Amino acid sequence: MTGDAKPPFEIRAAQMREAAAICEVLRRSIVELCVRDHQNDPARLAEWLANKTPENVANWIADPESCMFVAAGGDTVLAVGCILSSGKIALNYVSPDGRFQGISRAMLRTLEQTARELGHHRVTLTSTFTAHDFYLAAGYADDGTQTPDETGDWPLMHKELA
């Protein structure tokens, strides 16, 4: 890439007008990329998707306790990430159209940098089984699994930030 070449995507703060597009990325990522987690079980999939609505996404963007970002290629939202003021990564989803372009790693770096800026030395997240190896490769460690009252039995993870 030359100095004048534009990167294929940019990561920036999510905008309210993007709520529907963000919702679409979340839903497509879950349905198309996380089959290992939901195993095409209609009940599990419905439970996971239930709160993935444009209205809820708009509320998440507006929430002062969260920092939501998108990776965009032009006007197309390719990924979404969100970190809470507590230091928990709440969302890190990529569209099937954005896979294998370095977007997920770039989003994770943005979320971790935001955690540092918020004064955190440690971040936590709940991983899907689909993304577990991705997080391990990025320096995250396992902390057990979610409590039974939460959806699924996905791995809880953390990373100490430098």
The predicted pLDDT at position 4 comes to: 58
The answer to the question of residue 5 being in a domain is no
The answer to the question of residue 97 being in a domain is yes
> What confidence tens digit (pLDDT) does each residue in 144-158 have?
765 544 455 778 999
pLDDT average, residue stretch 3-30: 89
What is the dihedral angle through the alpha carbons of 110, 119, 57, 99, rounded to the nearest 10 degrees? 20
Pairing of strands 122-126, 88-94: parallel
Query: Which residue, among 93, 59, 61, 62, has the nearest Cα to 78 in the 3D structure?
Result: 93
The answer to the question of residue 2 being in a domain is no
Residue ranges making up the domain that contains 49: 10-160
Question: Rounded CA gap, 116 and 97, in Å?
Answer: 30
- Residue 1 banded pLDDT, cuts 50, 70, 90: very low
> What confidence tens digit (pLDDT) does each residue in 23-55 have?
999 999 999 999 888 889 999 999 999 999 999
Residue 71, domain CATH: 3.40.630.30
The answer to the question of residue 4 being in a domain is no
Overall number of domains in the chain: 1
The answer to the question of residue 29 being in a domain is yes
> What confidence tens digit (pLDDT) does each residue in 88-112 have?
999 999 999 988 889 999 999 999 9
The answer to the question of residue 41 being in a domain is yes
The answer to the question of residue 3 being in a domain is no
The predicted pLDDT at position 100 comes to: 87
The predicted pLDDT at position 159 comes to: 97
The predicted pLDDT at position 34 comes to: 92
Percent of the chain with pLDDT over 70: 90
